[in-house]
Amino acid sequence: MTGDDLVHLDFHTGNVLVDERGELTGIVDWDGIGRGDSRFGLVTLRFDAESRLQFDAESRLPLDWYDEMLDDLLDPAVLRLYWAHMSLRLVDWSIRHHTPADTTRWLDFAETRMN
């Protein structure tokens, strides 16, 4: 990943602290910090949103607006690279820690942008 931004490679809602008004107060778990493109965090958050659907699929929010934002902010080749990276991470994690059905779900989600 190119760039000089500070990148949190595990940027998800569990690492974002907010106060009672919903305002951002901090970001934790900086073990995987690196330099690169801060927009990578937006792809990480998209995968986090998808993972939360596993536990609350009935309240699925439409994420088309988020996908459109990614399309607008990232060159298609860069988005594909970031998507492939997150896909590999989540498929690997699901193989080691979850069920075959979870792995299939992540493989299916990965393919939504890899074609």
Domain architecture of the chain: domains with CATH? 5-111 (3.90.1200.10)
pLDDT at position 51 is: 85
Rg of the chain over all Cα atoms, to the nearest angstrom:
15
82 pLDDT more than 80: yes
The model's pLDDT over 32-50, given as tens digits with 9 standing for 90+, comes to: 789 999 999 999 999 998 8
In this structure, the number of other CB atoms found within 10 A of the CB of residue 61 comes to 11
Lowest mean pLDDT among 1-15, 43-57, 82-96: 43-57
Query: How many residues does the structure list for the chain?
Result: 115
Q: What is the separation of C-alpha 24 from the centre of its chain, rounded to a whole number of angstroms?
A: 18
Taking all residues of the chain, what is their mean pLDDT, rounded to a whole number?
Answer: 91
63-84 mean pLDDT? 95
| Dihedral pair phi/psi, residue 64, rounded to 5° | -60, -40
Q: What is the band of 52 on the pLDDT scale with cuts at 50, 70, 90?
A: confident
Per DSSP, which regions of the chain are E strands? 5-8, 16-18, 24-27, 33-36
Q: What is the band of 81 on the pLDDT scale with cuts at 50, 70, 90?
A: very high
pLDDT at position 56 is: 63
pLDDT at position 32 is: 79
